[in-house]
Amino acid sequence: MISFEINNETVSYDGLEDTPLLWVLRDHFKLKGTKYGCGVGSCGACTVHLDGKAMKSCTTRISRVEGRRVTTIEGLAASPTELHPVQQAWIAEDVPQCGYCQAGQIMTAADLLHRNPNPSDEDIARKMTNICRCGTYVRIRKAIHRAAGQMAEET
């Protein structure tokens, strides 16, 4: 039995220890926001936070999360009516086109801003390695700068 926290709720999983976290989230806990993209940790569609740090859930075995804290896109917002500043900026900048990669993009951007509250364009390019087939990279960068500004105003 593997016990851990998902979005501030303690949960347990009694299954194969080498199951990727992605499939435990999607199939066992029915959290569908985290997407399957490539299965090898290259595209970033499956990005979640593990103990506050962005990581690829498709290549993280469930055994690695014992006693740890997982945050998915469903748990990023403070409440259903109070979105995270990155989510607010994504809406304001009309970032998504098809939307498939956006949960992973948002989770990666939130981690970036947690570690670097005022990133340059170069910082964003270096950290935001998630793939967007629709090519919304310019809007993603604008949204990250907007969220950084909003977060700075709130502190």
Digit-coded pLDDT (tens) for 91-110: 999 999 998 999 999 999 99
Query: Residue 33: CA atoms inside 13 Å, Cβ hemisphere, count?
Result: 17
Global confidence as pTM: 0.96
Q: Return the pLDDT at 37.
A: 95
pLDDT at residue 60 above 90? yes
Contact present, 39 and 29 (Cβ < 8 Å):
no
Residue-wise DSSP of 68-113: -EEE-HHHHSSBTTB--HHHHHHHHTT--SS-TTHHHHHHHHHHHH
Q: Give the pLDDT of residue 80.
A: 84
Comparing CA positions, the residue from 31, 137, 150 lying closest to residue 88 is 150
State the DSSP code for 114. Answer: H
| Of the candidates 88, 22, 84, 83, the residue with the CA atom closest to the CA atom of residue 55 | 22
**Which tens digit of pLDDT belongs to each residue from 76-85?**
998 888 999 9
Q: What are phi and psi of 70, to 5 degrees?
A: -110, 130
**Band of residue 13 on the pLDDT scale cut at 50, 70, 90:** very high
